Chains A and B, each alone.
Chain A
Amino acid sequence: MSFVQNVPFFSIILSMFSGIVSSMLPAKAARWVNTCLIVAVGLMSGILLVYLTNTGEPFVYWMGHFPAPWGNEIRAGVLEAGMALFFCLIMFLSMIGGRRQLADEVAENRQNLYYILVDLLLSSLLALVYTNDLFTAYVFVEINTIAACGLIMIRQIGRTFEAALRYMIMSLLGSGLFLISLCMLYDLTGHLLMSNIKESVALLVAQQEYTVPLMTTIGLLCAGLAIKSALFPFHSWLPDAYGYSTVSSAAMLSSLVSKGYIFLLIKIFYRVIGFEIIAQSKIINVLFIFGLLGMIFGSMSAIQENDIRRMIAFSSVAQIGYIYMGFGLGTEAGMTASIFHIFSHAATKSLLFVAAVGLTDVSKGRREFIELTGSAYRNKMAGIAFTVGCLSMVGVPMFSGFVSKLLFAEASIGHAHKMLPAVLVLALSTILNAIYFMKTVIRIYVPDYRSDCKTITVKNQKVYALTLLCFMVLNVALGMLSKPIENWIHSGLAMFG
């Protein structure tokens, strides 16, 4: 066994441990620990990614000394390692980009709590990415929920409490469904490890036994995770939670937390149920329909929204709809498109949140569009970054959004029955996206030289500007280097097998 294979376990335990240590540290030290942790985990995941790409073989890591049917396992392939790396990258940028707001919005004595929560969030995300055991996944899903809830309400105003409560309720509904379905799956197959369940499920399907209970269970499993990842119509908590929490929370919630659940769902598709079985079932049709509805209604709500942060949040609903539509196609190409969209959306959405804060900062903290008039002139870097994010979301070539749209379309064009609805909704939702994002871009570039608002130049906030620059580079890189990334997703999916 190579030493590199310790990385998954080590990064999970390291994040948990840093969380515990941070509880005894002052805020500044906790922040330092947190930054180091994210960088360290990112580096380790990078090394793991290189290692796995070279070997070309996924590996299984025993937790404890018990072999397969009994013990707990961690499993890593290129997709897992890449996901971990990407999560660290986004988390790092979001934390740095939102640092100043954090200092303003969170009381001094609570700031170290924030870093503890982020450490915990990272550890649970890593566990969700790497684990090979369904019950472990459940436990970390709950830890993830708790950490996310903390991230929302760390900014102590009424709105965030309400948002956190709504978030909790929806999440608990989702994890309740996840829990009962996993117990039923355990009941049906007698296993908790993903690979073992898959064998048993394949056997059950081959013998055509327990078809109805099995399908019900899988359906509940998907429903649970869909609720947790805010698929339309379970998105009611989302605009408040993303709109009023402090900015790095919003960025991480939208680009990491929901994506963690979606990644878990992908793993369940491939590693627990088997992609063939899920592709033939009716469940993906349901996901497909809700995905399409989300794409349209999310954008419609975003158009009506008058608050920039909430608008971005509603756009998340639409983007999650895209991802589920890709699942719903039930083809390898659809999955590839969805996974690419996870990356592209995570990179873009966190950029938008961080940039939007730069714009509201120079508009007396107000988020209504009318107040944001001309804010791009007052904070040039944020204006440019926001525009780049919007262009990417709308799907302008050269940016990441275009490639994911291209992939979605390519996946749906070949499809026998779902081609027409998918392509039509894709076109419609793109136009809707264009409407509200372009409206915002125009709004922030309408000249309005107000003297009563402060201006922020790059020199004032070097770190912030640098973060935005990194985000933009990431976005363009995803848009331009799409071919290697696509190949890499393919090899990752093959390693799931």
Chain B
Amino acid sequence: MREAVTILLPVVLPALAGILLLAAKEPERKGVITWYTGAVLVATAVLVAVCVVSVNVPVTFFYLLDQVPVCFAPDHMGKVFALVVTLVWVPAGFFSFSYLKGGKKQKRFYGFYLIVYGILNALNFAGNLVTFYVFYELMTLLSMPLVLHEQTREAVMAGLKYLFYSFCGAYMALFGLYVVWHHSGTFVFTERGTLDPSLVSGNEGILLLAACFLLLGFSVKAGMFPMHGWLPVAHPVAPAPASAVLSGLIVKGGVLGMIRVIFYTFGADFLRGSWVQTLFLTLALITVFMGSMLAYLEKGLKKRLAYSTVSQVSYILFGLFLLAPAGLTGSLLHVIFHACIKSCLFLCAGAVIRQTGKQCVDELTGIGKEMPVTMWCFAICSLALIGIPPASGFISKWYLCVGAFDAGIPVVSWLGPVVLLVSALLTAGYLLPIVIRGFFPGQDYDYAVCKRREGSAFLVVPVVLLAAIALVGGMVTGGLTGYLSDLAGQLL
């Protein structure tokens, strides 16, 4: 009972608070909404922390059908993801207080922002595939209003695309889910898989197909080629804090889904050496390269960052599909780091757009003189994302390369690191010029028009915080890396 309440609170509190906010009348003073949202965000963060510390057993709530329980089981993996979500969601929320100030429909934005936070907590704590699927769908649906927020034609079309891709993906996953469910021994995520060996024998073919569908389905959210089309359209049209969490966290919902499928449902041994592994390794590598390339060619700042997400998340997927401990450790590290880095980059972009109105990369000459703090954070995050030591991206990419060598898969073991390296160079190619030209505008820059445009504390502090994590994460990693490689060791 105590566990049930402890798990439910971080889910129900923000969800109810959000619904309440949506249902309430527009208050006289706008400040009330932000105070309310801020209080709920902090309270939920505390509740998540409590839940992570104190709950270790699965809790079943009710049965959807016979043998289809809805249950929560906060294991190590779920806890890691829950902490990452909290780490980014709360600062991004505070950022939006200033970002959206004076904007329309704030009540609706904060309402859905809170609800999705609750849903994400539920997603991370979900104890079996059906529960996971239920909250996965809800996440898609309820994050839609964040994409649609601006209500321009562009935003609506992007929302439509987002919904289409997500639903198609989710139904592919659903198909796999049915098959897996039928061959499962237990209905709670178990390390090394839930498949019942007596049911599996003779059905390997259909199960591999099911695995393929499940993974393809979840890979839509993770923006993997060939289902990445929605991501660069949908992420940039949202308000910056929403793009930050969409790009930093919601895509990780897809990653978590794939982790749950590979390591907690099928078990790595079942997939190792199969065509599914080969297929997804190939797709992930293609996406890593293609995403970087498209980002390099893109001129819009937010859109470039969105393409970068496409590429970076596939780093994570590549690590997963190596099915090697080092690769998985690298993936998990990259989940954490990428969440912080990409959110920070989006928030920086948001701050720039809000303060200067400049959306295009070419217009950003000299921006470093105008908004030095923001651009310093941008620079740090760029370096971290490229993977230059001592910033955090280096550690995760190091582990990914080690994993690629360890896995000993022909071709991939040398092609993988090469592609990762090339993509890192491209990452440098599309991020560093912004920083360089921002700080060193060149001789024809007119210093006279330059003035300080740094925003309020709400615009600066979250960015600095996330950038600090991105930087420090690369230096003080002993405990974290050890914990994650233990976790990876248990799964493989």
Contact = CB atoms under 8 A, between A and B. Distances in A.
Q: Do chains A and B directly touch (beta carbons under 8 Å) in the complex?
A: yes
A108 B68 CA distance: 52
A403 interface: yes
**Top 6 closest A-B pairs, CB basis?**
A397-B134, A409-B178, A434-B167, A413-B182, A427-B175, A483-B63
A383 to B, nearest CB: 13
Contacts of A430: 171, 174
Interface string B37-71: 00000000000000000000000001111101000
Contact of A413 (B141, B163, B179): B179
Contacts of B63: 483
Contacts of B138: 396-398
A403 B62 CA distance: 14
Given A397-B137, A423-B178, A438 B163 contact: yes
A205 interface: no
Contacts of B65: 403, 406-407, 410, 482-483, 486
A305 to B, nearest CB: 18
A85 interface: no
B130 to A, nearest CB: 8
B436 interface: no
Contacts of B178: 406, 409-410, 413, 423
Interface residues of B, number: 29
A89 B173 CA distance: 35
Which DSSP category, helix, strand, loop or mixed, fits chain B's interface?
helix
Interface of A: 391, 394-398, 403, 405-407, 409-410, 413-414, 423-424, 426-427, 430-431, 434-435, 438-439, 442, 445-447, 482-483, 486-487
13 contacts: A394-B167, A396-B137, A396-B138, A403-B64, A410-B181, A413-B179, A427-B174, A434-B171, A442-B163, A445-B148, A447-B156, A483-B63, A486-B66
A486 B66 CA distance: 8
A426 B63 CA distance: 23
B72 interface: no
A482 B64 contact: yes
B172 interface: yes
A435 B164 contact: yes
Contacts of A403: 64-65
Interface in B197-237: none
Contacts of A396: 137-138, 141
B264 interface: no
Most chain B beta carbons < 10 A, residue from A391, A397, A486, A487: A397
Most chain A beta carbons < 10 A, residue from B156, B168, B175, B181: B175
Given A431-B171, A438-B164, 4 more contacts: A403-B64, A410-B178, A427-B174, A446-B156
B260 to A, nearest CB: 16
Interface of B: 62-66, 68, 133-134, 137-138, 141, 148, 151, 153, 156, 159-160, 163-164, 167-168, 171-172, 174-175, 178-179, 181-182
B133 A397 contact: yes
Contacts of A414: 182
A398 B164 contact: no
B206 to A, nearest CB: 8
Contacts of A431: 167-168, 171
A483 to B, nearest CB: 5
Contacts of A395: 171, 174
Contacts of A413: 178-179, 181-182
Contacts of B66: 483, 486-487
Nearest to B141: A396
B437 to A, nearest CB: 37
B164 A434 contact: yes
A434 B151 CA distance: 22
A367 B13 CA distance: 41
Nearest to A405: B174
Contacts of B160: 438-439, 442
A442 B64 contact: no
Contacts of B163: 438, 442
Nearest to A439: B160
Contacts of B64: 403, 406, 482-483
A57 to B, nearest CB: 24
A39 B175 CA distance: 41
Contact of A423 (B137, B159, B164, B175): B175
A394 B174 CA distance: 12
Nearest to A412: B178
A403 B130 CA distance: 11
B71 to A, nearest CB: 14
Nearest to B148: A445
